[in-house]
Amino acid sequence: MKTLLIYSFLSMVAVGGFAQVEKDTVLVVSRDTLNNIKRSITIKIGLGDSKDSTENESKPTSKISIQFIAARFDLGFSTYTDKGSYTLSAANSYLERATWKSSNFGFEFFQMGYRFNSHFKVYVGAGFDWNHMRLKQNITFQKDKANLSYVTETVDYKKNRFSSQYLRIPLSFQLRTNDDKKGDKLNFVFGPEIGFLLNGKVKQVSDENGKDKFKDDYNLNPFRYGAFARLGYGGMGVYVKYYGNDVFAEGQGPQDFRNLSFGLMFGF
């Protein structure tokens, strides 16, 4: 929970600052397409909420936009299903975790999209996503093994965290309302997402050994796919993400063991 509070504070500070900076630092380069078609290619570099250059126009034109951003900061909880159940089977009991200390964090740094009108846009993004599983058992996963393996330790760990980091690539379908009296919108975004494993990590803290960190792929699935949904107002919202394939690579770990994440997001 301490980690979640720190993430939450940093995210809110970052988003608040980014939103202010964007007004003065966004760089926009536009070029009309051929044949006088009312479409343009826009390259935008900015921080905070991604906004179209046509938002203040009474009749926005359809366009393609390419943006380097810092947005959609996810801060929430990460849970898992074992053959469709939230209760672990006896064979997978070593993966028992502290529910309120198993977290998800992520953000996006790039998007490229096409706005059909002021209410509908399609875009593909790129970002990073971390899942932290706080293990209850005093075990250590073994590196460079053909299958997920662990040893039981005599050490009593204060923290035994098993993490994965993915490059996430979502395809987003965005629906939004008109501005309200405050100038904010209600946004609903949904779509599929794929991910590529960057690394796995074990972090342990104990009185006997102090702090230890180990990196390996730990038989995690090198590729994952799933779906997500986001609902937000202004710069804040909620999200849920579910991945349709297993957390671990086929034949290298528990089968039908899948990940579900949900929580708050900042910087729509």
Radius of gyration of the chain (CA): 21
- Give the bridge partners for 189, in sequence order: 174, 230
Encode pLDDT of 68-95 as tens digits: 999 999 999 999 999 999 999 999 999 9
Give the angle subtended at the CA of 82 by the CAs of 129 and 108, to the nearest 5°. 10
Based on the structure, what is the number of domains in the chain?
1
Of 109, 85, 117, nearest in space to 169 by CA: 109
Residue 255: partners with Cβ closer than 8 Å, 6 or more residues away? 83, 246
Q: CB count, 10 Å around CB of 135?
A: 23
Encode pLDDT of 132-151 as tens digits: 999 999 999 999 999 999 99
pTM for the predicted model, two decimal places:
0.81
Encode pLDDT of 157-177 as tens digits: 999 999 999 999 999 999 999
Position 268 scores a pLDDT of 83
Position 121 scores a pLDDT of 96
Does residue 152 register a pLDDT over 70?
yes
Position 150 scores a pLDDT of 97
Residue span of the structural domain in which 41 resides: 2-266
Position 62 scores a pLDDT of 56
CA 99, CA 103: separation in Å to the nearest integer? 8
* Pick from 5-19, 55-69, 158-172: least confident: 5-19
Q: CB count, 10 Å around CB of 93?
A: 11
Does residue 216 register a pLDDT over 90?
yes
Does residue 41 register a pLDDT over 60?
no
Does residue 263 register a pLDDT over 80?
yes
* pLDDT classification of 178: cutoffs 50, 70, 90: very high
Which residue intervals of the chain are DSSP H helices?
2-25
